[in-house]
Amino acid sequence: MISDSVKNGVIFGCEGPRLTEVEFDFFRDTLPFGFILFSRNIVNAKQVIELCKSLRDAVGWHAPILIDQEGGRVQRIRPPLALDRIPPLDEAEKAGRKAKSIFKLRFTAMAKELLSLGIDFNCAPVLDIARTTTHRFLRNRCYGVNKSDVISLGRVAYDALKSNGVFPIIKHMPGHGFASHDSHFELPVVKASKKELFANDFAVFRAFCNAEIAMSAHVLFEAIDPYSAASTSKKLMDIIRDDIKFSGLLISDDISMAALPGDIKKRTTNLIEAGNDVILHCNGKLFEMKEIVESGVVPNTLTLSRMSSVIEERKKIEHTKIENLELAKIS
């Protein structure tokens, strides 16, 4: 049972390329849902495989290990372990009518690179709509400038990752494309009307409502809740659950980002009370991780059920991948 393996609804990073004894003991005692890797954790293939094993040994099960491997600027693993890729929007524009085929190849290869290292969850596809005003930290990470293209290429990316053994995490729900500021440094404020949001940005995520995992956005939608970022807003969470119809596991974007007010404990409380299932903490600072756990992130029954659904779906992915390999051998 997932409740025996997960004590806290968190995904943690670690500080370096090898797990320290202190980190190992902390993860063993706190039993987070999973882990996330960054460039600071990557040296070579043998080291990454060993790090993934150490993380899973600490918690005593095959816990999810995430990464942001979008291609382009947000690509934690670089050559020789993975191909360098141009940003997705540049790829889509360059490929033109062949974009779907190119995206399938792109994300199929990406999945194989990640899985060979022990990484089985990717924070992609990016389902935000690019606009002329979209901040440059995000714009060329998007897949298109309209909802149709984003849905189409997002589906290709999603299916390619999943069919090749890597669990996709859609982001940034319910939409980050209107944001003209970088949420790593400040809270973006979106002034678009509810009508425009529901017709475009929210509609993209509605098309992916059956996804098993999504990441919430640190973006303020003035027309809906002028006081809180979507990730900490009960009003936006109601839209995510009731209008977008997303019923899967919702993880926050990184809790360390400056878009969120208050200290780590306050941020944790706000994110959990709003309705996020899992807190994402990326920087590997142990004292912050301890504060998150102290704030109370024990998963409730519904969150545990959503976690279980994710793990069961992962088993299906692994089974399908084995079947596909066998079919490939026969043909």
pLDDT digits (tens, 9 = 90+) for 201-253: 999 999 999 999 999 999 999 999 999 999 999 999 999 999 999 999 999 99
Output the pLDDT for position 324: 53
| Nearest one of 260, 215, 264 to 240, comparing CA atoms | 215
pLDDT range class, residue 183, cuts 50, 70, 90 = confident
Paired sense of beta strands 69-71 and 74-75, if any: antiparallel
Output the pLDDT for position 317: 81
Question: First-to-last CA distance in the chain?
Answer: 38
Domain count within the chain:
1
pLDDT range class, residue 67, cuts 50, 70, 90 = very high
CB 250 within 8 A of CB 277: yes
Check if 181 is active-site: no
Statement: residue 185 has pLDDT above 90: no
Residues of the domain holding 109: 2-330
CB 310 within 8 A of CB 213: yes
Q: Which of 62, 181, 182, 184 is an active site residue? A: 184
pTM of the predicted structure, to 2 decimals: 0.94
Structure tokens, 307: 């976690």
**pLDDT single digits (tens) 21-43:** 999 999 999 999 999 999 999 99
Q: Which of 120, 201, 225, 253 is an active site residue? A: 253
Statement: residue 299 has pLDDT above 70: yes
Looking at beta carbons, which pairs linking 324-327 to residues 24 or more positions away fall under 8 Å?
324/163
**pLDDT single digits (tens) 119-178:** 999 999 999 999 999 998 899 999 999 999 999 999 999 999 999 999 999 999 999 999
Torsion angle of the four alpha carbons 73, 76, 78, 82, in this order, in degrees rounded to the nearest 10: -110
Output the pLDDT for position 321: 57
CB 205 within 8 A of CB 169: no
**pLDDT single digits (tens) 74-104:** 999 999 999 999 999 999 999 999 999 999 9
Output the pLDDT for position 328: 47
pLDDT range class, residue 320, cuts 50, 70, 90 = low
Check if 184 is active-site: yes
Tell me the β-bridge partners of 189: 220
Residue ranges of alpha helices (H) inside 164-285 are: 194-199, 201-206, 234-238, 264-274
Output the pLDDT for position 323: 55
CATH number, residue 275: 3.20.20.300
